[in-house]
Structure 1
């Protein structure tokens, strides 16, 4: 099954200050700048196996780090920059329209760095529903509990998107209910597009501008998306994290996605929330939607500190004990000043470089 990864990393200078990626974004077709100045994105092409995905991702990232060393820049695997000066959005008409429609809260997104995992479309309805049920797996790689120094959730990034950026447009940024068909999903997208267009018109934005920069396929931030152009089902909830963590997550997620094509997928009814959801050789059982939402909410707030979440993810096929989220390592304070945030960015830039070195060595064995 073809699988690919997109990950955003903060770019810093040798003092730990956020800076532009510059030439790092021009290394290959897989590297590019993001919508805010200090973010860099690395994308892999679709890979048929996890081994191929790992090799492609690691080789490309190693090339980026080599270039970064030559220009005194480093990459940071954190979901937010912990605490920083104001981050500027790059000039962009799409972003301008979103800001006018969504409002000031849209600025929360400027402080977020995440990971998107794409899996090849097959049994799409089952894939959508299973990814919705698995959204709590974001807890496995939570990498920053802080937004502008304040401790807000184990995944501050998920909190910023779901509770702040799209607070006034919850259907554009929250988990969607399970679906009966792909057609139902597309109808929801059309409805969200119409809602956004109407809100834009009320803000005085020309309809032609909205239609030029948005479509039903890309008007929402929902954690699960169908991508027609690629074509894939995309899971967008995880934070940016260490490469080894993301590769492990992609591997285990792909295993579940592969299994659902060879078994039955059912949604449990009236099940005990403490023991719901299973991935076994006999089939895949998904919790009721409200339970899946509660688990995702707990994963966002408490991460792997929640016994309920860890037991659920274990039942759903994840080797929870193999994950050591960055958030659990740096959590514990209610406020982190900018000077300490710079030190944390430098520390985790070093850990990312060491992580990639180990992954490169494993490729050579």
Structure 2
């Protein structure tokens, strides 16, 4: 028959055990008080080892919870003192911002740029530069990226969506739908890869044919496209020369040699995209400042919900990226295509095949 025993937990020994488990070496007065309280509480047990384990784990959870709270306070205070105050999750936007749905802009101020090209030519980094972000050295294959940048320029709101549809190379119907929804196109190849240039030429012809079919034109349509020969910073011999691009695509095509790494040529390219899309030059990354999305929203939504009450007073061009932006559904894109085709002629039964 087991006898009932009473024992007291040694405070110093347990505290050392906590330090070894958590990796923390400071001893707060509150933590020490918790341990002392637990240490002087008699524990009745039938098995020393099992009850010591249960009591110890209970104290570990209590102390760890207290240290987590203390640690979060330290992080917050350090962030505030350094000027990089962290934003709590309840201060982040709850959903994506669509200026057209909210009635904060006009349809002509909403624009979609479709980015196409072979893999590994630098499309993602060019998009990152447009969004005001840094160059990334490591390559990660892009499945599909959809980005949204919101602008405030001369008292007006603009919305620019960027669709990088790299994965659609093997899905003609999806690629055709993306092409038909694009307002302007950025076709990217690498200057050290001749095959990537050949793919751009094929894409340009595909875009012209798709737009001509949509508008019921007898000849290939002239499309607002910018051709970008990227990786101009590489020391490797160029596989594609400017003269070759001009000879194949013609003099009337907007062509730029760029480097997403050192930003060479990007400003002119972004300006050309803006001009083709009927957007202000201030949409170029060098012509505006980046502000948080919540700050941008406050420009158009006052405290009482009066839209545009604050936007009129701001003169400097600014922009914000929407971290929650998602590509509209394929159904929505198809409706957009069908509605645009009815402005010219009766649409075909299926526009994407």
TM-score, with structure 1 as normaliser: 0.25
The structure carrying a bigger helix percent of its residues is 1
**Structure of greater Rg:** 2
> Structure with the greater relative contact order (CA < 8 A, sep ≥ 6): 1 or 2?
1
TM-score, with structure 2 as normaliser: 0.25
